[in-house]
Amino acid sequence: MILAPLRGVTIRCFREVFAQIIGDCGFTEAFTPFISAMPGLSALSDRELAGVDAAREPVRLTPQFIGKDPQALKRCLEEVRAAGYETADLNCGCPFPMVRNKGRGSGLLKNRDLFRRMIEAGVEAMGEGKFSIKARIGVDRRDELLELMPVVNEYPLRFLTVHGRLARQMYEGVCDFSMVAEIERTSKVPVMRNGDLDWRGGKGMVGRSFIRHLGEREDIGELLCAYIEASRRELHGEKPVLGRMKELIAYWKDTPRWSRRWQLVKISRDLDELRQACVP
Residue-wise pLDDT for 46-55, tens only, equals 989 988 777 7
d(CA 57, CA 241): 23
Residue with the bigger pLDDT between 75 and 201: it is 75
Residue with the bigger pLDDT between 59 and 166: it is 166
Domains and CATH numbers, the chain: 2-208 (3.20.20.70), 220-278 (no CATH)
Which residue in 93, 90, 84, 50 sits closest to 70, CA to CA? 90
Res. 57 pLDDT band, cuts 50 70 90? confident
Q: What is the pLDDT of residue 15?
A: 93
Q: What is the pLDDT of residue 50?
A: 87
Is 162 in contact with 137 (CB distance < 8 Å)? Answer: yes
* pLDDT exceeds cutoff 70 at 280: no
Res. 41 pLDDT band, cuts 50 70 90? confident
d(CA 21, CA 27): 9
Write down the mean pLDDT value for the chain: 94
pLDDT, tens digit, 9 for 90 and up, residues 74-105: 999 999 999 999 999 999 999 999 999 999 99
The whole model's pTM is what? 0.93
- Residue 129, CB-side half-sphere exposure with 13 Å CA sphere: 0
Q: Is 237 left (phi over 0), alpha (psi -120 to 50) or beta?
A: left
* pLDDT exceeds cutoff 70 at 186: yes
* pLDDT exceeds cutoff 80 at 58: no
Sheet holding 64-66, edge to edge: 35-36, 64-66, 88-92, 131-138, 160-166, 191-194, 205-206, 2-3, 29-31, 60-62
Average pLDDT of span 240-244: 96
Average pLDDT of span 203-223: 94
